[in-house]
Structure 1
Amino acid sequence: MDSHSVDLHRRATVVDGLVFFSDGSTRDMLTGGVSAINVTISEMGADFEQALRDCMAWRQRCAAPDSPWLLVEKADDIARAKQAGKLGLIMGWQNGKPLGDQIDRVALFHELGMRVIQLTYNEANLLGDGCLEKRNAGLSDLGVKMVQEMNRVGIAIDLSHCAPQTCLDAAHHSSKPVLLTHANANAVITRPRNKSDEVIKAVAATGGVVGCSIHAYLSWRGDPRQQPLLSDFVANVKYIGELVGYEHVGIGTDFPSVDTYEAVRHVMVMSRTKYAKSGGDFSDAFGDVMEARYPVETPTPAQFPAFTHALHQAGLTDSQILGVLGGNFQRVFAQAWAAA
């Protein structure tokens, strides 16, 4: 890696917009120079009680003596984590299911430290339709009220797994920036979970950010002999940057933060069996091998500096790269987390 990319990565405050699981390990993230990560702290189908337990468990982990974690509750905490040499934890969900139909739970979970909620996972819930629902019905009336309450208390709205109409409805009804924490452009690589130009523009119009992802379910071009490459990630960054502006682009790897990928074998099996429409074709080609789901150049978060090098080689300016690496997510989190 060239010296300029090394220096640029060292200067950056790196934010990963989506980490789908963590067993508490910070090793590879800190090795890769990452400052903060949005961790999915609950399983996709978790209910209210389980979500409460997960919040409390992570709060205790962060509060433990000599913890390598720093709980991020306001945007300035991300810079604090970098300065302290810790990994900032942004508590998030990938499904609004634990909210049920109780709007007052939004404020409760905010008080416990929740800062990002994806409205739906792949299927429909009480808030709206997920991306694998054929009907594409959008937000429910309850979903609109939840969006408004999340705006009020200061929880960022994630639309990554939402149906197209759900994304458009949420962007329309939100008074604050909304996010696609981990998604790519269908115009670059057509996958069930990627987003149309219309959705990307709607998110950007709110001031939001699209976290371009390296995960194969979003970045695989369909060749059974070739897993994703870092060039596929760069292609999405450049396309979305040119479409709506680089200030609306970030990184959402969909990595886990674990000591060993054996810790997420259950997730690999779940994604292959329960959600075959999303990535079953890739799993058929490569099996349950987590490393194969990421570019050959970046099999783990420890290789995060390779993103900086690839973006520099692709011709992005230093300012654009610093924004993509984390500055853009920091800006939007500051806006989304401010109480209305």
Structure 2
Amino acid sequence: MGSTQRIVIDALVFHGDGIAEPLKTGGVTAANVTVAPYLQGMVPAFDAMARWLAAVDDPAAGWRLVRRAEDIPAAQAEGKTGLIMGWQNLLPLESNIQRIRAFHAMGLRVAQLTYNEANLVADGCGETRGAGLTDFGREVVKELNRVGVAIDLSHCSEATVQEAAALSDKPVLLTHANAKAVDMRVRNKTDESIRAVAATGGVIGVSIHGFLNWDGDPKHPPTLENFVRHARYIADLVGVEHIGIGTDFACVQDPAQVEAILNLSRNYPGPAGVFINAFGNRLADRYPGDTPTPRQFPLILQALERAGFSAAEVDGIAGGNFLRAFGQIWH
């Protein structure tokens, strides 16, 4: 095992109810939590972030807001969980690039360029035309770099990933994506895209989530062993220093709170619907059977150790690699 003060970062939690307990129980130091609706505009995003800021102010909720990389070990020292406020779509910008700075002031630190389909910034992985950044999107990438918001390319098209990586002067991230070479899922990334992200100094958050961590056979539910196959493949491709973990967990007391988001998945037959048809649409069924919630996070790290990753390598995958990249991006 690594140090007892190991930094553990979950690079993608798709929803939270405002209470840190499941992450805290699982030993997670900080998490990139999606704090705005996926498919809505500015006002819902603003209101949702306002609610999260109120949760941070509630001592019982257990959060410390992360604005700089050093806030993550500080949260650990305080016995709190670091809240990294993230978006999975840039729809709240509409066509106003100045909003990036304003939302950064509210605490936004990770922004995915688009969510499966196209927006004004770029194409997502679900767009059959497979285009990349728009002219506006190129300006957005530069502004995210300038302000200090991490660029997430997880749900983006291959062209968007590669163009954004080439344009960015800061590390870019795949907070939750696996390797297409291991499992040919719509949401996974080609070797070329993985290399492009790593070349920026970026990190790929390997995921346990069934939409990414599944071979397409209804007889084979997602497993930790298959997750480790992705981690090993990407380590061999670009180096273990470019690997993290992005579970795509929900951090909730009551799984019923995410029903609306689970149902949203049905709108994406390629990325999600085929898995739902095979295994149903319960939250727990999207993950390996032994890790249905963030409370079981230590089992993910144990699976990496059993697979032969050294303690120092697991320290990096668990959180050290994302912490390094955040330190280069945020300022």
Q: Given the two structures, how large is their TM-score scaled by the length of structure 1?
A: 0.95
Is 1:217 paired with 2:180? no
1:269 to 263, 281, 294: 263
Residue number in structure 1 paired with 2:174: 180
Is 1:127 paired with 2:121? yes
Cα distance in structure 2, aligned partners of 1:290 and 1:60:
26
Is 1:37 paired with 2:27? no
Cα distance in structure 2, aligned partners of 1:65 and 1:89:
13
Cα distance in structure 2, aligned partners of 1:141 and 1:264:
35
Alignment of 1:8-157 (within 5 A): 8=2, 10-157=4-151
Q: Which secondary structure state, in structure 2, belongs to the residue aligned with residue 304 of structure 1?
A: helix
Structure 1 runs not aligned, ≥5 long: none
1:167 to 161, 171, 175: 161
* RMSD, aligned α-carbons: 1.1
1:226 positional shift: 2.8
> After the TM superposition, which of the residue ranges 42-51 and 190-199 deviates more from structure 2?
42-51
The answer to whether the Cα contact below 8 Å between 2:113 and 2:156 also exists between their aligned partners in 1 is: yes
Is 1:235 paired with 2:229? yes
Cα distance in structure 2, aligned partners of 1:256 and 1:83:
24
Is 1:289 paired with 2:282? yes
Residues 240-288 of structure 1 deviation map (CA, whole Å, 9 limit, x = unaligned): 011001110000000000002111111111102x112212111111111
The answer to whether the Cα contact below 8 Å between 2:209 and 2:248 also exists between their aligned partners in 1 is: yes
Cα distance in structure 1, aligned partners of 2:221 and 2:299:
17
Cα distance in structure 1, aligned partners of 2:259 and 2:180:
28
Alignment size in residue pairs: 331
Cα distance in structure 2, aligned partners of 1:10 and 1:191:
36
% identity of equivalent residues: 50
Residue number in structure 2 paired with 1:257: 251
1:9 positional shift: 6.9
Residues 209-254 of structure 1 deviation map (CA, whole Å, 9 limit, x = unaligned): 0000011000111222331010111011111011001110000000
1:25 positional shift: 2.4
Structure 2 runs not aligned, ≥5 long: none
The answer to whether the Cα contact below 8 Å between 2:20 and 2:61 also exists between their aligned partners in 1 is: no
Cα distance in structure 2, aligned partners of 1:71 and 1:9:
24
Residue number in structure 2 paired with 1:321: 314
